[in-house]
Structure 1
Amino acid sequence: METLSEKSNAYLQMLCKCITDRSVGSEGNRVATAFFNDLITSLGWQTEIQEFDATDWIDGGASLHCGSDTFQVFVSPYSLGCEAKADLTCLSRFDELEKANITGKILLIHGEIAKEQIMPKNFLFYNPEEHQRIISLLEKGKPNAIICATGRNASLAGGVYPFPLIEDGDFDIPSVYMTEEEGSRLLLHAGKTVTLNSNSRRVPGKGCNVIARKGNQRGKRIVITAHIDAKKGTPGALDNASGVVVLLLLAELLRNYDGSRWIEIVAFNGEDYYAVPGQMHYLAQNQSRFHDILLNINIDGAGYKEGNSAFSFYGLPEEMESMVRNIISHYDGIVVGSPWVQGDHSIFIQNGCPAMAVSSQWFTDHIDSQEITHTSKDNLEILDPGKLVEIAQALDMFINEI
């Protein structure tokens, strides 16, 4: 019989190597959710599949040139493609965007206005007014296409360099992005005619959440979540195959649960996707039911090979927090971590539910500077499968005591 450690490693292999693309709307994503559903059902859990439409995206590359000079550019995720030839207009500040005539131009956005990833136009959970205004001005201005010169923005865009300033399948102006260094070269050609070819295509697809349930239906719910999707082009080991593995290990540990709580294990689908469709579907279904949730436990970024696992608390009743602190004190590899908001626990916090987030202390301490997530570096080599077993065992102890 396989040990939990062996299962932890096998599940990681399945999610990160056997399945090569878990991005929402892709075939790999559907294979991953089917794997999760089949396995958790075999452990005696009742499951619900929440299906939704989701756009997949095919990146065929892009090219940019001005006269004899060529520039390296990358297709913005989920952008429309284009074959564009127009004069180059360059903007670095919001006030310049307000005043400029950009209609029919190819627009280079750089500098201050490109310092952080612009939230998708229909993203509800965090969408600063400045971001909304930028999108509105671009849509009203109707440039032929947009080129974005960017640096790093780990807190919003992950560890990728350069980062895509625009990642939004609901935004229909074609866009590409480039490094700040390439942007400096391109600035020298302001006012000249440039040619941009972007081979990008949106593909209709499907995705789903998987919700598994067990326990006393009349009791208050403990909702344990982890997102199963990953960015296209990354194995998504830390972000967030490791969280899904914790859900599966915990489901096995709780397979005979007969306590007073209604346990809900949710594989969310969409945290790393512009439209967060799985989260929106769950939110709509539970809009009038958040009051019956005792606690959300969200796992994201767990199992990093260096340092400890970290449990952080958001509005837990004093007695509950004391219970968790006592349990994790028995584990050398788990500590109380600092609060962080870039995860699905924020959905529950915003709806008045106590929450606990489980991650890696190294990751949360470096969330604004790390260079791993959303890149090819997010692979199995950076994980310790044993840490996922330890997290699952601590959560099992807590759930059985509460």
Structure 2
Amino acid sequence: MKYAILITTLVALPTASLAQSGRAGADVEALVKLGPRVAGTPVMAKASDYLEAEYRKAGYTTQIQTFTYSRFEDLGSSLIVGKTKTTGLPLSGSVAGKVDAPLVVVPNVGRPEDFARVDVKGAIAVVQRGEIRFSEKVQNASTAGAVAVAIINDRSGELAASLGGGVSKIPVLALSREQGSALLQSSQTAQPATLHVNTRQRQVTGRNVVAHLPGIARPQILLGAHYDSVPGAPGANDNASGTAVVLEIARRISKTPLANQTWFVAFDGEEDGLHGSKAFVQTAQPQFISSLKAMLNFDMVGVNSSLRVSGTPQLTARAKAAQSGLSTSESYSGSDHASFAAAKVPVLFFHRGREPNYHTPNDKQVDSNLLDETVSVGLEIVEQLL
């Protein structure tokens, strides 16, 4: 009991004041005003300048870590059925190509047994999103003889997705539920169609923003969040929200011993495949990585009431013990903590799940109260871990 009291005294955090409340929301607003933060664009230089300035105000030294990668870009892809042309988004990893072929609707989500019920040989296969990976759907279609695939979203909005690092042998186009509903309601009788996947690969330079107190070379904990967004989306929730939470936690602990053991990173290139976090891990010294007790990642924490955690079982259990009201989820891939988990670093992922404005131009607002709540939870868990 004395030991617990002593530790609390050493690392006691300042109580949040009215002046502190809402600062994370102001950070989100500042980032959103810049417009969509797409890796490799001039907007990202402005966004990184803003973050550097804020970290420096809090007493941290900063640096920009640059890295390059090849980005998959859409130059205008579509599906034409009869006289109706529908624009869509090619899945990252799809080969480019223009295919004139019959359109065949495949029942359900594209498992082998679904393709066995229809003849898609030489056809454009239409399948629904859900239940199995995109790469599996495409592989099943290719095995059944399809020459292209159109995947219909199972929720409102566009489907910006990836084949998970693989490369397809046939063109793959994603359509929103609204765009594809008419196709799914049509009969399975083949109808003439043209599917055009028009893409290119372009070299992109990303910018990670790294912040820590002067002289701190071997942190025990790293807090991170990606600050890039998808094209066309201002990215308030995805992921100015997580970026702002990490920045506010940094402000709150800057005058405490906790800051002597912590680094903060705003990652770029997450939306294109976790490139910023991968570059950080790959270029870090092995001793740096091995000394990390935990990597805490915050992604999409400004919308939806329930804050969830997932990650390494031991860390998840400690987080639940620190905050009994936290929800947990089993899956924890798909964001920057995955790059650290692959390097055997214990990870903890904070998120609130997807919401209707995900990856759309309407991702403009968050709930400042939810940001402040996430900051408080993050602070308590950092204190417990250290």
TM-score when normalising by structure 1? 0.70
* Alpha-carbon distance between aligned partners in 1 of 2:95 and 2:167, rounded to the nearest angstrom: 14
**Conserved 8 A contact 1:152-1:162:** no
Secondary structure of the residue aligned to 1:72 is strand
Once the two structures are superposed, what CA deviation does each residue of 1:206-262 show, in whole Å capped at 9, x if it has no partner? 212222123774765201111112222323222211100011111211222445853
Change (3 A) 1:205 1:175: same
Pick from 45, 58, 61 the counterpart of residue 60 of structure 2: 45
**2:283 counterpart residue number:** 285
* Alpha-carbon distance between aligned partners in 1 of 2:68 and 2:169, rounded to the nearest angstrom: 18
Change (3 A) 1:89 1:182: closer
Aligned residues with identical type, % of pairs: 19
**1:75 counterpart residue number:** 89
Change (3 A) 1:325 1:82: closer
**RMSD of the TM alignment (CA)?**
4.2
Describe how 1:91-106 pairs up with structure 2 within 5 A.
94=112
**1:253 counterpart residue number:** 252
- One-letter code aligned to 1:182: L
* Alpha-carbon distance between aligned partners in 2 of 1:229 and 1:375, rounded to the nearest angstrom: 14
- One-letter code aligned to 1:29: M
Change (3 A) 1:256 1:60: same
Once the two structures are superposed, what CA deviation does each residue of 1:96-148 show, in whole Å capped at 9, x if it has no partner? 69xx997xx6x5232379865525xxxxxxxxxx479569x58xx895xx341
CA shift for structure 1 position 80? 8.3
Describe how 1:205-244 pairs up with structure 2 within 5 A.
205-214=204-213, 217=216, 220-244=219-243
* Alpha-carbon distance between aligned partners in 2 of 1:218 and 1:53, rounded to the nearest angstrom: 24
* Alpha-carbon distance between aligned partners in 1 of 2:159 and 2:378, rounded to the nearest angstrom: 38
CA shift for structure 1 position 169? 10
* Alpha-carbon distance between aligned partners in 2 of 1:115 and 1:398, rounded to the nearest angstrom: 34
**Conserved 8 A contact 2:296-2:348:** yes
Change (3 A) 1:387 1:203: same
Change (3 A) 1:55 1:142: farther
* Alpha-carbon distance between aligned partners in 2 of 1:359 and 1:241, rounded to the nearest angstrom: 13
Change (3 A) 1:165 1:258: closer
Secondary structure of the residue aligned to 1:177 is strand
CA shift for structure 1 position 60? 5.3
* Alpha-carbon distance between aligned partners in 1 of 2:229 and 2:170, rounded to the nearest angstrom: 25
- One-letter code aligned to 1:10: A
**2:14 counterpart residue number:** none
CA shift for structure 1 position 292? 0.9
Q: Which runs of 5+ in 1 are unaligned?
A: 120-129, 154-158, 330-334
Count of residue correspondences: 356
**2:318 counterpart residue number:** 321
Pick from 46, 49, 57 the counterpart of residue 31 of structure 1: 46
**2:11 counterpart residue number:** none
**1:375 counterpart residue number:** 360
CA shift for structure 1 position 165? 6.9
More moved, 345-354 vs 239-248: 345-354
**Conserved 8 A contact 2:129-2:151:** no
**Conserved 8 A contact 2:90-2:172:** yes
Kindly indicate whether residue 367 of structure 2 is the aligned counterpart of residue 384 of structure 1.
Answer: yes
Secondary structure of the residue aligned to 2:269 is coil
CA shift for structure 1 position 69? 3.1
